[in-house]
Structure 1
Amino acid sequence: MEKHAASAMNGSSLQDFSSGDVHVLDDGRSINDFIDDQIKTLQSEDSEEPFLVLDLQSVIDHHQQWLTLLPRVKPFYAVKCNNTPAVLRVLRALSTGFDCASKAEIQMMLNLGVSPDNIIFAHTTKPMSHIRFAAAHRVQTMTFDSEEELRKISLCHPKARLVLRIAVDDSDSLLRLSSKFGAGLGLVEKLLGLAVDRDLTVIGVSFHVGSGCTGSQAFQRAIADARQVFDIASVLGVQMSLLDIGGGFSGRDNFQVKFEEFADVINAALDKFFPPDCGVQIIAEPGRFYVESAFTLAVNVIAKKNCEESGPGGQIMYYINDGVHGILSCVVNDPAHPPIQLLPHRAVGVGEVRYRSVVWGPTCDSLDKVSDSAMIPELQVGDWLLVHHMGAYTVSLSTDFNGFERAKIFPVVTEETRRLLELRHTSA
């Protein structure tokens, strides 16, 4: 992997890459070893706060997979998915672009040294102050899907490079977006005409098939729709040069549709409708794909209640120190997130009885329920549970409701990856 990842790195970017909070694993040590050590450290400090471990190698591996399977498509990472600084710094070093949805996200990327040319302001309903901010900081590329958005842009950023977002069939997705964003094909000619009348520059088309897409043919249909928009634009004298195929890619190896299948369909559709010699740049906005599998959450059992029917086949209630107002917000906020699997950190004996368990979060909110049917061995107060695949729309949605602190994040790399990224490790 080191050799392959090295080919994906941008040497000049790496010279500026530094992080004081990245933990380097000594030779032979694993992330599980790091989790063990962190739990021991917390116990020695009379603490049991939840924490996340970020495997930066996973982010790099997914980037290499992207480059291998979608070589024509430049990824613009969706910052909203997870804005952990270590993730953003690694992706900058890997020379990805960035999909930002607000002036705060734009400022975050500019502060990390990202060029404005490597940012797309991919939000179709932007506050006018945010548009002016983008203009002042030379962020030129942004999306629109309505006449009103064109009017705002003409007033605040008339030199912007515009991308028309179209609504596409997202019926195969767990989280559908076209009911809120995107212009129907029937409005395309009107919107492009209005842009021409306002002397605005439209450079391309974007779409999003929805998050947690379960049908690869959705991309084929959407790319075909985009081709229609390019053809309409050509008739109007608008020469487009950019296609943004959005996101919707899971980052889990066990997702029901493999990334390889999506890539095969996308590559075939691009070759048919936008062949390599057509002069159109292809980009995408993956978020989950990069970070979903890179984060593991460790939580502590802080309370326990045995119900009357507890015993073999019975029920036990546990209270853990993260819940739906924290990292586990995905339980209620993210239809594209699979059911939570709570794994005991301790060793589980062969044949050990499992109980149907209700798992609550720590807050005073009765809706703060993580699971009402977790089948787990009996646990004691003070035991730890691990939850894998916790990188997508978790960190960015967590709160400190009731005063419960957000889970601390520990980025971890192997020594080989540290050398690859030229990171200087200092203890947290």
Structure 2
Amino acid sequence: MLLSTALSKTKSHVNQIPKDGMTKFIRSIAEEKHEAGQPFYVLDLATIERLMDKWHHSFPNVKPHYAVKCNAEPALLTKLAKLGANFDCASLQEIDTVLSLGICPNRIIFANPCKAISHIKHAAAVGVNLATFDSELEVDKIKKWHPHCRLLLRIKAPSDIGALRPLGKKFGVLPREFEPLLHYACNVAGLKVVGVSFHVGSIAQDPTIYREAIANARAAFDVADYLGIPKMQILNIGGVFRSSTPLFEEIADVVNEAVKDYFPDPNLTVIAEPGRFFPETAFTLVTHVIGKRVRGEKIEYWIDEGIYGSFRPTLYNSCFVGIKPLSRQKSKESSQIYESTIYGPSCDSLDAVAVDIKLVELQMGDLILFYNMGAYSKCAGTMFNGFDMLSVPTYLVQTNSS
């Protein structure tokens, strides 16, 4: 039911528009199809194409497995599949979302190191045969319910200091645990460990962390050789890639050099789990002004999306989001700037989207556009206060240079 609902909220027709025609298109959609109280997204599929080209240019030997948790928009997943991406799923539901689009199960890695038994059994039933692990108990569960699954040892990155969301506290095997856990998985349980996986933490700022992590992965490969485990073939370098900063190229340079230094074997398969890299800049959220209050030189606005919808995770990522006010009628646009605050629609006083920012004066029904809203936004929608943030529709466009 949830999956069919999600699919129905994507407007499957792809609108061809010039690159500079996005504002006109948004105005037309707002006028023709949406009243105040009905936010919507616009996904530019051409941006996904450009980002895939950028990925291949910087990472020519790294296969992307898109992290579905970041944004499970069906049109996005379909486009990425057509461009050659594979998929990182963390649950039964994400696996079924990908499979429902006609994507083969051998293009999925079940990359949650701790999986419910029902999810493991489902992966076995549908043919998802590559997964991560980082504990003996996980080995026991997989041995019992999916014994033919190939495994990647999830190791802890040596340092995730500076990451927006460090992951090392929750996931990953320490170096001193490599030998006993590999021995248990391969020589005791008889499972097939085919490689190593790591994740340096969300939005890490120091590219050298990758070199340290790849060195640790090399150590895990060496332990496997020492234990007589059949030669491992996969190195998974995780996620944490953003397309809109020069840091991406710096990370790519560090990774490519480190792989050459530590893994000279040409038969090694290197994969990654990018999430925000692809959807972040491709999605624009369009909201309506549904309320307004003027207090002296300051203006407060209410819009039809908030922190219990698309803005919940972006409270922590606010520096990535661009804001653009847009009068529904171009002829009535104001030019005077006011200190402004934007609130979401709920009755929670914490539901503030942007505080003390500079905006032109807007009127009821005018639009506020939020750019770079494709990552960890729509997927966090709730039904708090009865506002249906789960069913915000997405319109598809294909921009061109003409």
**Does the alignment reach a TM-score above 0.5?**
yes
Partner of 2:197: 206
SS of residue in 2 equivalent to 1:22: strand
2:100 to 83, 100, 111: 111
Q: Is the 8 A contact 2:11 2:395 kept in 1?
A: no
Question: d(CA) in 2 for partners of 1:218 and 1:349?
Answer: 51
1:53 to 42, 65, 76: 42
Q: Deviation per CA, 1:132-188, whole angstroms, max 9, x where unpaired?
A: 111111111000011111111111111110101011111131111111111111111
Partner of 1:365: 348
- Please tell me whether residue 172 in structure 1 is matched to residue 179 in structure 2: no
Q: Is the 8 A contact 1:211 1:336 kept in 2?
A: no
Question: d(CA) in 1 for partners of 2:369 and 2:212?
Answer: 39
Question: d(CA) in 1 for partners of 2:36 and 2:301?
Answer: 18
Moved more, 356-365 or 137-146: 356-365
Please state how far the C-alpha of 1:65 moved relative to its aligned partner. Answer: 0.7
Partner of 2:236: 244
- Unaligned runs of at least 5 residues, structure 2: 1-9
Residues 259, 383 of structure 1: CA spacing in aligned structure 2 closer, same or farther, 3 A cutoff?
same
Residues 132, 28 of structure 1: CA spacing in aligned structure 2 closer, same or farther, 3 A cutoff?
closer
Paired letter, 1:411 = L
Matches within 5 A, 1:232-381: 232-238=223-229, 239-251=231-243, 253=244, 255=245, 257-275=246-264, 277=266, 279-307=267-295, 310-311=296-297, 315-332=298-315, 335-336=316-317, 338=319, 340-346=321-327, 352-381=335-364
- Please tell me whether residue 222 in structure 1 is matched to residue 213 in structure 2: yes
Partner of 2:4: none
Percent identity for Structure 1 against Structure 2: 40
Question: d(CA) in 2 for partners of 1:55 and 1:230?
Answer: 41
SS of residue in 2 equivalent to 1:74: strand
Residues 340, 65 of structure 1: CA spacing in aligned structure 2 closer, same or farther, 3 A cutoff?
closer
Matches within 5 A, 1:152-167: 152-167=141-156
Paired letter, 2:233 = S
- Please tell me whether residue 89 in structure 1 is matched to residue 78 in structure 2: yes
SS of residue in 1 equivalent to 2:164: strand
Q: Deviation per CA, 1:342-374, whole angstroms, max 9, x where unpaired?
A: 211136999944322221100112221112222
Question: d(CA) in 2 for partners of 1:27 and 1:372?
Answer: 33
Question: d(CA) in 1 for partners of 2:19 and 2:346?
Answer: 39
1:412 to 381, 397, 401: 397
Question: d(CA) in 2 for partners of 1:215 and 1:223?
Answer: 14
Partner of 1:136: 125
Question: d(CA) in 2 for partners of 1:320 and 1:390?
Answer: 16
Partner of 1:30: 21
Residues 331, 95 of structure 1: CA spacing in aligned structure 2 closer, same or farther, 3 A cutoff?
closer
Please state how far the C-alpha of 1:409 moved relative to its aligned partner. Answer: 0.7
Please state how far the C-alpha of 1:275 moved relative to its aligned partner. Answer: 2.3
Q: Is the 8 A contact 1:22 1:413 kept in 2?
A: no
Q: Deviation per CA, 1:110-142, whole angstroms, max 9, x where unpaired?
A: 222222211100001100010011111111100
Residues 261, 375 of structure 1: CA spacing in aligned structure 2 closer, same or farther, 3 A cutoff?
same
SS of residue in 1 equivalent to 2:277: helix
Q: Is the 8 A contact 2:36 2:304 kept in 1?
A: no
Paired letter, 2:167 = L
Partner of 1:385: 368
TM-score of the two chains, using structure 2 as the length reference: 0.91
Residues 220, 28 of structure 1: CA spacing in aligned structure 2 closer, same or farther, 3 A cutoff?
closer
- Please tell me whether residue 65 in structure 1 is matched to residue 51 in structure 2: no
**Number of residues paired by the alignment?**
386
Q: Is the 8 A contact 2:110 2:132 kept in 1?
A: yes
- Please tell me whether residue 188 in structure 1 is matched to residue 178 in structure 2: yes
Please state how far the C-alpha of 1:28 moved relative to its aligned partner. Answer: 7.5
Residues 353, 20 of structure 1: CA spacing in aligned structure 2 closer, same or farther, 3 A cutoff?
closer
